[in-house]
């Protein structure tokens, strides 16, 4: 550190320490901006899942508090990539963008490039960037995003690449500024990390061990959001069904939901992701009796073959999964089910794949994310024999996708001709004079309307199902 005195003057407690650094950076940003005669801009490119999207809102909140204005693209003074490493192609995209950024930086040498997120938790990635992407200014990980202002200050002072990646943490720093993407809906972290170690998955290694937030903190955050105009929350965790088990005063996820339900002014509650192995009868009962929990459950299957599921370390069998679906449908006949499926896990035979197709045909999902298995170094599956040849995987993937889409088109159609509550989200990007919204079950509907409807829950007649979405009309 060049200026140890100033750092020494910083508070040691969080979040006061970060407040202090946001003020320090703001002075530097203002000085730069006076020199350039224009505001300094920042731009965050987010890869990966809802957790990363929520983290990016926190990062943008810090940057704005530190004096940056939000830019529209990578021609900005501070560019941050919040990365994902769940599959190889998420990784490759980031390297591609970094190559492009070196050209941008040549034109604007004062710009700063920062990388954070899951990829940065992998030592070989950081080593590669240090060696081959010297134009990067700042690298940090998933455990210390709250430290952005401090790290940025360090970079301003040091004038060389700053790297700070933590292996893990028990710390949950609350109450830093957040800049939400939507005024009317928001993600809310209820837990961080994952303890499940599915054998193909890198998330537990890059997000660390499971940590639940205190229910009081979650409720307080949601109350604040509602006071600020939010009507829909998405409770986020890698496995929300194990929420609260390790708190000093344990509480179940269902109990948390019942407390969230009581928040006045909140209209809709969603959550992600629900691991089938931990889905309790208490949760089904709570969902069934709730007026606010949406009529949708994302229930990742991964594979329909009990043998593959065992090797995936998913801790349920095909039969158990199907029994769970039956129980859910008995309690909530109209619930929409969606899922994630991996094709081409090591050793997957044609028979195993047919088991997956069988589950798809039996459950009849409203939609499904289908993925080609991607080998992640360091996970148990990467070392398994019999990796499936690419052409075989591709063929299975195409067959699965077709089946999923055909079924989804039929299933989604079931509400055609009915009137449903829709939360209006944005102006339609395809058709002028139209807006886009979502049903409780998460299906998208487009209908004639204007910006004044955004954030409102309105009645919409679902006139025509078009595959995975509807064209509708506003019921006045």
Summarize as ranges the residues that interact with ligand F3S (CB under 6 A).
48-49, 51-52, 84-86, 118, 203, 206-207
Q: Measured at the alpha carbon of residue 68, what is the angle toward residues 64 and 72, in degrees to the nearest 5?
A: 100
443 binds ligand SF4 (CB under 6 A): no
Angstrom distance (rounded) from CA 353 to CA 355: 5
Q: Which residues contact 452 (CB under 8 A, 6 or more apart)?
A: none
* 371, 434, 468, 469: which one binds ligand SAH (CB under 6 A): 371
Taking the mean position of all CA atoms in its chain, how far away is CA 369?
14
121 binds ligand SF4 (CB under 6 A): no
Min. distance of Cβ 366 from ligand SF4 in angstroms?
A: 20
303 binds ligand SAH (CB under 6 A): no
Q: Which residues contact 127 (CB under 8 A, 6 or more apart)?
A: none
Of 143, 166, 186, 177, nearest to 53 by C-alpha is 186
Tell how strand 419-427 and strand 457-466 pair up. antiparallel
Q: Measured at the alpha carbon of residue 204, what is the angle toward residues 202 and 207, in degrees to the nearest 5?
A: 100
Q: Measured at the alpha carbon of residue 46, what is the angle toward residues 40 and 49, in degrees to the nearest 5?
A: 155
Question: Are 269 and 281 spatial neighbours (Cβ–Cβ below 8 Å)?
Answer: no
Give the interface segment with ligand SAH, choosing from 123-131, 199-207, 319-327, 429-437 (CB under 6 A): 199-207
Give the interface segment with ligand SF4, choosing from 51-59, 192-200, 218-226, 357-365 (CB under 6 A): 192-200
Q: What is the DSSP string of 384-411?
A: -S-PPPHHHHHHHHHHHHHHHHHHHHHH
339 binds ligand SF4 (CB under 6 A): no
Min. distance of Cβ 194 from ligand SAH in angstroms?
A: 6
Min. distance of Cβ 62 from ligand F3S in angstroms?
A: 19
Give the interface segment with ligand SF4, choosing from 198-206, 349-357, 419-427, 466-474 (CB under 6 A): 198-206
* 56, 83, 85, 238: which one binds ligand SF4 (CB under 6 A): 238
240 binds ligand SF4 (CB under 6 A): no
Q: How many helices (H) and strands (E) does the chain have?
A: 14, 19
Residue 52 contacts which entry, ligand SF4, ligand SAH, ligand F3S, none (Cβ below 5-8 A, type-dependent): ligand F3S
Q: State which residue, 77 or 122, has the beta carbon closest to ligand F3S.
A: 122
Residues in 437-476 at the binding interface with ligand SAH, rule: CB under 6 A: none
Q: State which residue, 189 or 443, has the beta carbon closest to ligand F3S.
A: 189
> What is the 3-class SS of 71-133, one letter each residue?
CCCCCCCEEEEEECCCCHHHHHHHHHHHHHHHHHHHHCCCCEEEEEEHHHHCHHHHHHHHHHC
Residue 84 contacts which entry, ligand F3S, ligand SAH, ligand SF4, none (Cβ below 5-8 A, type-dependent): ligand F3S
Give the interface segment with ligand SF4, choosing from 191-199, 224-232, 346-354, 360-368 (CB under 6 A): 191-199
* 204, 229, 347, 380: which one binds ligand SF4 (CB under 6 A): 204
The DSSP H or E segment spanning 314 is none
Write down the H helix ranges in 108-237.
123-132, 148-158, 203-207, 215-227
Site string for ligand SF4, 311-330 (x = CB under 6 A): --------------------
* 374, 420, 436, 443: which one binds ligand SAH (CB under 6 A): 374
Residue 303, φ and ψ in degrees, nearest 5: -155, 155
Site string for ligand SAH, 226-265 (x = CB under 6 A): ------------xx--------------------------
Question: Are 37 and 30 spatial neighbours (Cβ–Cβ below 8 Å)?
Answer: no
* 239, 274, 305, 367: which one binds ligand SF4 (CB under 6 A): 239
Instruction: List the beta bridge partners of residue 420.
Output: 460
Residues that bind ligand SF4 (CB under 6 A): 194, 196-198, 201, 203-204, 238-239, 275
Residues that bind ligand SAH (CB under 6 A): 86-87, 200-201, 203, 238-239, 273, 275, 300, 302, 340, 342, 371, 373-374, 376
């Amino acid at each position: 550190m060049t200026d140890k005195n100033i750092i020494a003057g910083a508070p040691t407690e969080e979040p006061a320490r970060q407040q202090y650094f946001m003020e320090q950076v703001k002075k530097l940003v203002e000085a730069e901006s006076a020199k350039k005669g224009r505001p300094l801009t920042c731009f965050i490119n987010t890869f990966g899942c809802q957790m990363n999207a929520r983290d990016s809102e926190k990062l943008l909140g810090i940057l704005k508090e530190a004096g940056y204005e939000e830019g529209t693209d990578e021609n900005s003074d501070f560019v941050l990539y919040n990365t994902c490493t769940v599959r190889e192609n998420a990784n490759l995209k980031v390297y591609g963008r970094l190559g492009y950024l070196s050209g941008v930086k040549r034109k604007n040498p004062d710009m700063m490039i920062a990388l954070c997120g899951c990829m940065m938790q992998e030592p070989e990635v950081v080593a590669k960037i240090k060696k081959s992407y010297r134009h990067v200014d700042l690298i940090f990980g998933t455990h210390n995003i709250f430290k952005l202002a401090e790290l940025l200050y360090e970079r301003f002072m040091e004038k060389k690449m700053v790297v700070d990646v933590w292996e893990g943490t028990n710390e949950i720093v609350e109450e830093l500024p957040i800049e939400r993407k939507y005024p009317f809906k928001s993600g809310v972290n209820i837990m961080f990390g994952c303890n499940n170690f599915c054998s193909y998955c890198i998330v537990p290694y890059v997000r660390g061990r499971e940590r639940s937030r205190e229910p009081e903190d979650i409720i307080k955050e949601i109350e604040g959001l509602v006071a600020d105009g939010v009507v829909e929350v998405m409770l986020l965790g890698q496995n929300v069904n194990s929420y609260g088990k390790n708190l000093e005063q344990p509480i179940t996820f269902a109990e948390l939901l019942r407390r969230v339900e009581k928040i006045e002014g909140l209209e809709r509650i969603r959550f992600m992701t629900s691991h089938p192995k931990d889905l309790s009868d208490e949760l089904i009962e709570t969902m069934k009796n709730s007026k606010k929990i949406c009529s949708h459950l994302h229930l990742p299957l991964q594979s329909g073959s009990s043998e593959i599921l065992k090797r995936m370390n998913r801790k349920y069998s095909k039969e158990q999964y199907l029994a769970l679906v039956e129980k859910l449908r008995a309690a909530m006949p109209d619930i929409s089910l969606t899922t994630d499926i991996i094709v081409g896990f090591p050793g997957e035979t044609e028979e195993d794949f047919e088991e997956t197709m069988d589950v798809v045909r039996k459950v009849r999902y409203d939609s499904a994310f289908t993925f080609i298995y991607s080998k992640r170094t360091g996970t148990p599956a990467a070392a398994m024999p019999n990796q499936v040849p690419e052409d075989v995987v591709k063929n299975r993937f195409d067959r699965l996708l077709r089946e999923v889409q055909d079924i989804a088109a039929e299933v989604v159609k079931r509400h055609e001709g009915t009137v449903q509550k829709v939360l209006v989200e944005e102006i339609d990007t395809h058709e002028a004079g139209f807006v886009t919204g979502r049903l409780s079950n998460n299906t998208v509907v487009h209908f004639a309307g204007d910006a004044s409807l955004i954030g409102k829950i309105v009645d919409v007649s679902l006139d025509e199902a078009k595959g995975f979405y509807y064209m509708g009309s506003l019921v006045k």
